[in-house]
Amino acid sequence: MIDIQLCNYEEAINRIKWILICHGILWIIFGIAILVVGDAELLLLANPNDIDNTHISYKLVKLYSDTFYVLFIGILIIVPVFLAVPKLKNYRRPMLESFTSMMLGGLIVTQIIKALVGRYRPFDQSSPIKDQINLFGDVQEGRDAGSMPSGHVSTVGGVMIPHAIHLKNIVSAIIISLFSAGMMYARMFLGMHYATDVLVGSIIYVMISILTFFLFELLYSKVDMKNKHEWLIYIVLVVPFVILLVASLTNKI
């Protein structure tokens, strides 16, 4: 069995506290910036208007933003690998939590809020700043009321943060947390979201990841978890996942 060092319960709780503290500080700073500078104005500061899609900074940020698709589809494939390979047994729970967190936060909660809020993108024809947004030559056709919250932010964080909770290596946890939070800037840089959109997306992935941890803690303490039970969890999740995947790919998140 591959020995991936994981936190015990007390260590995981302590890790959750630090994740909440660090993200809480980020949210406060971000919130103050929004209040002082303005929601749209903060977006315009992050969205450079003097470069095009040939610039190296755009290419790097776009590549970073597109890791969303790798994680979004890759998690569907990699979870059954961990369930099927006995040597990966000790990391099955974190992988299932990652998949569950992404489903609950990145898809279900995010899509419900998008539908309820119905906020149009910054580049939409009705937006007062549409002419100031640099889309780097990316032509956006039609109207998209899917700005609030950011699906990229909530999904990437939903996939990543459960690993930051479970991995014993603190450096790995810090890198994972920074990678998740960095998506907030990337989505504003590309002109896809207002500052409040990415802020809410960040709050979603942190809270849902923590909720998922406690749900699985309760489940694993109540049930003598066998591999067949873990496969059942995956199957129950994968059906709505595929349905929402198709829906998400046909409507830009």
For residue 81, being part of any structural domain is answered with yes
pLDDT at 46: 95
- Note whether residue 51 is domain-resident: yes
pLDDT of the residue at 253: 46
Closest CA to 92 of 226, 221, 241: 226
- The whole domain housing 201 covers 9-250
CB-based contacts of 216: which residues, under 8 Å, 6+ apart? 93, 96, 97, 100
Cβ-proximal residues to 230 (8 Å cutoff; 6+ apart), any chain: 83, 92, 93, 96
Please check whether residue 114 is in contact with residue 197, taking contact to mean a CB–CB distance below 8 angstroms.
no
Predicted confidence (pLDDT) at residue 250 exceeds the cutoff of 50:
yes
Number of CB atoms found within 10 A of residue 33's CB: 16
188-241 pLDDT tens trace: 999 999 999 999 999 999 999 999 999 999 998 887 778 788 888 888 888 877
Q: Classify residue 2: in a domain, yes or no.
A: no
- CA distances to 27, 68, 160, 165 from 176, rounded to whole Å, are 17, 14, 6, 10
pLDDT digits (tens, 9 = 90+) for 37-81: 999 999 999 999 888 889 999 999 999 999 998 998 898 899 999
pTM of the predicted structure, to 2 decimals: 0.90
Q: Evaluate whether residue 3 is within a structural domain.
A: no
What gap in Å lies between CA 154 and CA 150, rounded to an integer?
A: 6
- Which amino acid makes up residue 35? L
Structural domain tally of the chain?
A: 1
Tens digit of each residue's pLDDT (9 = 90 or more) over 138-186: 766 555 668 999 999 999 999 999 999 999 999 999 999 999 999 999 9
DSSP assignment letter at 53: T
Contacts of 231 (CB under 8 A, 6+ apart): 83
Does residue 1 lie within any of the structural domains? no
Residue 16 is predicted with a pLDDT of 97
> Does the residue 45 lie in any domain?
yes
Examine residue 242 and state whether it is found in any structural domain, yes or no. yes
Would you say residue 162 lies in a domain? yes
Structure-token pair, residue 75: 């998690």
- Length in residues, the chain: 253
